[in-house]
């Protein structure tokens, strides 16, 4: 239990440190040059602009992108492109199941009222 608690505390500390570093980076710039988006240490993306539906869709459902991890819409870190994740999971499932078998054809029929045919019997 103590080890798990230390890991959580370390992750929480790192997240807070990244937010503080991102805000400090923006506040260090002259007011006219502040964009409130960029990268902490050139690696971790941040964006503190109000989110828009276009940016939300581009981050979380973008069929045109091959990236699994995209820049987050608001805050520090990455988002997951769910469209790309779906494609990767489908591909992994197909490989695991041995390819893509042809779909089964299921014929459903209804008995006509008054036809006198019981289920399971065929016409002669």
Per-residue pLDDT tens digits for 40-83: 999 999 999 999 999 999 999 999 999 999 999 999 999 999 99
Closest CA relative to residue 48, chosen from 74, 16, 19, 21: 74
Confidence of residue 103 (pLDDT cuts 50, 70, 90): low
Query: Which pLDDT belongs to residue 96?
Result: 87
The domain ranges of the chain are 2-96
- In this prediction the pTM is 0.68
Nearest to 82 by CA among 52, 58, 100: 58
In the predicted structure, residue 12 carries a pLDDT above the cut 60: yes
User: What is the dihedral angle through the alpha carbons of 106, 107, 108, 114, rounded to the nearest 10 degrees?
Assistant: -160
């Amino acid at each position: 239990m103590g080890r798990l608690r230390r890991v959580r505390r370390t992750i929480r500390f790192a997240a807070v440190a990244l937010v503080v570093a991102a805000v400090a980076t923006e506040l260090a710039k002259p007011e006219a040059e502040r964009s409130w988006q960029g990268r902490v240490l050139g690696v971790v993306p941040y964006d503190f602009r109000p989110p828009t539906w276009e940016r939300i869709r581009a981050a979380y459902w973008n069929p045109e992108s091959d990236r699994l991890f995209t820049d987050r819409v608001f805050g520090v870190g990455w988002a997951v492109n769910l469209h790309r994740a779906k494609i990767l999971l489908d591909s992994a499932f197909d490989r695991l199941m041995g390819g893509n078998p042809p779909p089964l054809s299921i014929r459903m029929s209804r008995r006509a009222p008054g036809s006198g045919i019981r289920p399971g019997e065929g016409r002669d």
